Structure 1
Amino acid sequence: MRITVTMARVLSALLEEQEADRYGLDLMKVTGLTSGSLYPILRRLEQAGWLLARWEEIDAVAAGRPARRYYRLTAHGIERAGAALAELHAATTPRPKGVPAPDAHLRARPAW
């Protein structure tokens, strides 16, 4: 899965409280994303098996608000999100001059 900056924001927010159910408005506030950016990301994460989603079971009239859709990372999602964010961090962290990238050996051309 391609990890964009906006997806990294969502994954970071979900990893902060791995055991908590998070809902859209909460994630929008934490990430600074609009609903048009957030919900497609949540849908992709759910389709990839990284995220579980469920509707809140409430009486909307008694609660005075519509039911919320809650999201939580799966065990697989926690593992993959952590690895993806670590890779992104390693790829975007400046290195001192002369220090090769961790994967430089994979990009190096043979000497022959």
Structure 2
Amino acid sequence: MARERRPSRQTAAVLAALAAGPGWRHGYDLARETGLASGTLYPVLMRLEERGYLESRWSEGIEGRPRRHLYRITAAGLRYAAGAAGPARHRPATRPRLEGA
């Protein structure tokens, strides 16, 4: 079985924001909390939904206001978020020196 890749910094931020509470959140709130631009945030949300890590629905319409897309993390998303918060793999800060070069 293939190992799941670690999420990007942006994906980890979205997962952490959604994992902080069980309720439905809309994209604007998530953008404010994570500091991500909409052009980054919404593709991340769509990928997470496609993978089953979150679910979405449309808000109830309020007269005079557009409906909003709401997002909520799933149990699989909580497990993935917990793994994302784990220790990062060690990567050397610089290339190793070549002796005698």
Normalization by structure 2: what TM-score? Answer: 0.78
Cα distance between partner residues in 1 of 2:47 and 2:6: 11
The yes-or-no answer on 1:4 pairing with 2:4 is no
1:78 is displaced (CA, Å) by 0.8
* Secondary structure of 1:53's aligned partner: strand
1:43 is displaced (CA, Å) by 0.3
Match of 1:91 among 88, 91, 98: 88
Q: What CA deviation, in whole Å up to 9, does each residue of 1:43-90 have, x standing for no partner?
A: 00000000100001214xx2x32111100011111111111222xxx1
Q: Equivalent residue for 1:101?
A: none
The answer to whether the 8 Å contact 2:6/2:84 transfers is no
Q: Equivalent residue for 1:69?
A: 69
Q: Equivalent residue for 2:57?
A: 54
Name whichever structure is richer in helix by fraction.
1
Structure 1 ranges of 4+ moved more than 2 A: none
The answer to whether the 8 Å contact 2:15/2:77 transfers is no
Alignment gaps of 5+ in structure 1: 94-112
Percentage of pairs with the same residue: 45
Cα distance between partner residues in 1 of 2:71 and 2:10: 17
Match of 2:44 among 35, 38, 41: 41
AA partner of residue 72 (structure 1): R
Q: Equivalent residue for 2:79?
A: 79
